[in-house]
Amino acid sequence: MAEDNKQINGMVNHSFWFEKTHNNGTDEYVAGDAIGTVQSIVVKGDGGGGIVRVINVSDNIAVGLALRIWFFRRAPRPVVDNAPFLMHNADRAKFAGVRSIASTDYISNGNIRMAHRKGDDANVDFSCPGGRLYYIVEARETGTFSKANRLQVNMGDWPD
């Protein structure tokens, strides 16, 4: 499956913010499944780098699924939505970091579940030789998304 590219949609105080609504379907995800495909974010061009400083995750039908977000400096092997994510040996050298969102990290407001990580809980240093930071979202427990309920991931970066 092809990666889903994402452009930075704004700079605020030397930080970029982007948001990604994953193209997940009406499927049940179990622990270890990839949610969506490989995502990529254009950073400052070739050799761009920085620090991911903030990670926000939300959904709108009270799923609040525990997740892992795997970051890579170069494109990892493709993953398939709703299939087990397994780190490939060739991707170890591309690995930049991983951050977890626990189901207990979410706060609720009606049907909306939101998790917010910042500072040391979110920091991932990266240097991207090709000018893109890649990431994969992995389910850490079972949860069902519908066409109307999309997992949304927002991140903020402090570029070098």
Q: Does residue 78 have a pLDDT over 70?
A: yes
Across 37-49, average pLDDT? 74
142: how many CB neighbours lie within 10 A of its CB?
12
Question: Per this entry, what is the length of the chain?
Answer: 160
3-class SS letters over the chain: CCCEEECCCCEECCEEEEEEECCCCCCEECCCEECCCCEEEECCCCCEEEEEEEEEEEECCCCCCCEEEEEECCCCCCCCCCCECCCCHHHHHHEEEEEEECHHHEEEECCEEEEEEEHHHCCEEEEECCCEEEEEEEECCCEECCCCCCCEEEEEEEEC
Q: Does residue 41 have a pLDDT over 70?
A: yes
The predicted model scores a pTM of 0.83
* Lowest-pLDDT range of 7-16, 27-36, 57-66, 111-120: 7-16
Q: Does residue 13 have a pLDDT over 50?
A: no
Across 89-116, average pLDDT? 93
Domain boundaries, the chain: 4-159
Q: What are phi and psi of 5, to 5 degrees?
A: -80, 145
**Beta 39-42 vs 48-59: how paired, if at all?**
unpaired
User: Given this model, what pLDDT does residue 88 score?
Assistant: 94
User: Given this model, what pLDDT does residue 24 score?
Assistant: 54
CATH architecture of the domain 4-159 equals: Sandwich (2.60)
